[in-house]
Amino acid sequence: MAGLAPGGDVRSTARCLAQLGVPVLRGDGTPWAEKVPPQRPPRSPPLPEGDPDMQADDAIVLGQGLSGLREPIERLDCGNSGTTIRLLTGVLAGAGIEATLTGDESLSRRPMERVAKPLRQLGAEIGTTHGKPPVIVRRGHPLRAAVIASDVASAQVKSSVLLAGLFAEGETSFTEPGKSRDHTERLLRTMGAAIVQRGNTVAVRGPAKLRGFALDVPGDLSSAAFLIAAALTAPEGSTLTLE
């Protein structure tokens, strides 16, 4: 991946993936995540060196396949990232990996039942702490496809269900009252997943066979909003260039 922003959410995700046996390397071959807790080795060995065609701050995710995740030795600390904890809950539920997901003080106040409930409809065994993190994903029976309807439009909830649905036999559908962001659907299609959109319903057929791909992460204009606002308040003649 080129253009991946080195923010806290990305670092938290890379650290959790490393604990699950999925190395995330920089273009120069060094680990993306720092201070990773004890971890089990990946089932497939990491690349010994970096990719000469990549920049040092690019990222290489060495996927292990749907059945290649390792059970973490310690808790998965998602930091302040609600996206990390919600999407990983779906992945772990689908893979049947037992793990506890936690986060900082702020994340520990975020609601998690809105993710846990639809995953339980797929057969996942998930516990929350009074509806909030820590979240405990237990080993259970293989997930079963289900028809799920949500009373809120949420890309995170939808993505968690779709990721879990990759592991379930048959078609899992998710219907929401309005369309939410569709980045997960786009990525899964690119990776070979059978994704179908029907109005406000999206469905995935599992078990899926995914393939790797190269991605240029587009710039996020919203991150530059404060710079634009500051430029507007500057004296006449000021210039701001965004690349």
Helix (H, G, I), strand (E, B) or coil at 51: coil
- Does residue 112 sit within a domain? no
Degrees to nearest 5, angle at CA 209 with 15 and 214 = 55
For residue 44, the model assigns a pLDDT of 66
- Does residue 32 sit within a domain? yes
Q: How far is CA 28 from CA 5, 6, 19, 52, in A?
A: 16, 15, 21, 8
- Does residue 194 sit within a domain? no
**In this predicted model, what pLDDT tens digit does every residue of 34-79 receive, in sequence order?**
777 777 777 765 555 556 677 767 888 988 988 899 999 999 999 9
- Does residue 108 sit within a domain? no
Q: How far is CA 221 from CA 7, 224, 243, in A?
A: 15, 5, 10
| Phi, then psi, of 230 in degrees rounded to 5 | -65, -40
Mean pLDDT lowest among 79-93, 175-189, 222-236: 222-236
- Does residue 24 sit within a domain? yes
The answer to whether 186 touches 155, Cβ cutoff 8 Å, is no
Confidence check: pLDDT of 98 > 90: yes
**In this predicted model, what pLDDT tens digit does every residue of 11-44 receive, in sequence order?**
999 999 999 999 898 888 888 887 777 777 777 6
The total of structural domains in the chain comes to: 1
Q: Structure tokens of 89? A: 């809950």
Distance in angstroms (rounded) separating the CA atoms of residues 8 and 24:
15
Q: How far is CA 95 from CA 24, 65, 100, 143, 188, in A?
A: 19, 10, 14, 9, 17
- Does residue 18 sit within a domain? yes
pTM exceeding the 0.85 threshold for the entire prediction: yes
Question: Average pLDDT of 125-136?
Answer: 97
